[in-house]
Structure 1
Amino acid sequence: MSEGFDSREAFVARFGGVFEHSPWIAARAWDAGLPSDAATADGLHAALVAPFRAASREERLGVLLAHPDLAGRLAVRGELTADSTAEQASAGLDKCTPEEFARFQSLNNAYKARFGFPFILAVRGLTRAAILANFEGRVDNDTETEFATATAQVERIALLRLREMLP
């Protein structure tokens, strides 16, 4: 059991959103038994990453598909999760010029058409220009490289979220 969590339900309620809309990862981490360092962001991250990495490709694809587009329609409509809203705002994606917004839409559409999942990048601390440059650099990758890059970015996002939540 993790500090302060005497039930699976409480643990999943607190950490089920660390991987976007994927509480099954927290549930599997709990079921596997949490390590003694699970009260720290890095320790809990390792416990959560294990079932994510052990999951089938289809399950990991489901996690990728749960992520919103950067500067996309959900953001415009205010329908992102609180974490995604804060992360995108920290990078200034809520302040795109019309030209930047159009570029994001074009890249989002091209990327999803090519790979079948949204472009994922841990944007906290990056500028819009850096995000666009990263986007443009990755859209021509092969599918396996991009799947690996996207899953690594999902893991990074989870770590950053946990560092906000835990000491």
Structure 2
Amino acid sequence: MISRDEFVSRFGGVFEHSPFIAERAYDAGFIVEPLTSGGVHSALTKIFRAASAEERLGVLRAHPDLAGRLAIAGELTEDSRKEQAGAGLDRLSPAEHARFTELNDAYVTKFGFPFIVAVKGLGKDDILAAFETRVDNSREAEFATATAQVEKIALLRLQSMLPES
């Protein structure tokens, strides 16, 4: 059986900067071996969904802005860097970067957390279109959408780490 420390070390960053999710999943006995992407995702998602609204908000706030200051400064997590680069967000024109910055600022001001989308398989135009649509959502609708996107990002990360179930 994988140890708690090893499990948290390996999967604590699947939900961005939120190792408490992996800790609680392990402590709750939700971890079944052999480890599969679906099994670990199910365990982590149960904990994420059971977390308080404030804790889930903290997970959302742990995500970086898309093409934001952390990306420019080279301070993204390795997963976030690869995900954003795969979508072309590291190659924006000055005008595109200005539009992303404008939308990031408006979104965070309105909702209190950054815009989150699972970027795998999307291009910058797809992301920009989603951004422009979702910024008009209600806070409740956007909180639900953002948490669903966080769960999707976690699954995609796990699928790159483990065999599927």
Shorter-chain TM-score tier? over 0.9
Q: Superposed, which structure 2 residues align to 1:27-42 within 5 Å?
A: 27-36=23-32, 39-42=35-38
Work out whether 1:62 is the aligned partner of 2:62: no
TM-score, L = length of structure 2: 0.97
Unaligned runs of 5+ in 1: none
Partner Cα separation in structure 1 for residue 32 and residue 7 of structure 2: 15
Structure 1 runs, 4 residues or longer, greater than 3 Å off: 35-38
Shift of 1:43: 1.0
Residue by residue over 1:93-138, the C-alpha shift from the partner in whole angstroms, topping out at 9 and shown as x without a partner, is 0000111100000000000000000000000110100000000000
The aligned counterpart of 1:142 is 138
Unaligned runs of 5+ in 2: none
Partner Cα separation in structure 1 for residue 13 and residue 149 of structure 2: 15
**Matched pairs, number:** 163
Work out whether 1:155 is the aligned partner of 2:124: no
**Secondary structure of residue in 1 paired with 2:90:** helix
Shift of 1:34: 2.8
The CA RMSD over aligned residues, in Å, is: 0.9
Match of 1:82 among 71, 78, 82: 78
Shift of 1:36: 3.2
Indicate the larger mover: 35-44 or 59-68. 35-44
- Provide the identity percentage: 67
Partner Cα separation in structure 2 for residue 66 and residue 38 of structure 1: 29
Partner Cα separation in structure 1 for residue 95 and residue 162 of structure 2: 38
Q: Superposed, which structure 2 residues align to 1:5-44 within 5 Å?
A: 5=2, 7-36=3-32, 39-44=35-40
Amino acid in the other structure paired with 1:143 = R
Amino acid in the other structure paired with 2:78 = A
CA separation of 1:15 and 1:35: change in aligned 2, threshold 3 A? closer
Shift of 1:37: 5.7
Higher relative contact order (CA 8 A, sep 6+): 2
Amino acid in the other structure paired with 1:148 = A
Partner Cα separation in structure 1 for residue 32 and residue 143 of structure 2: 31
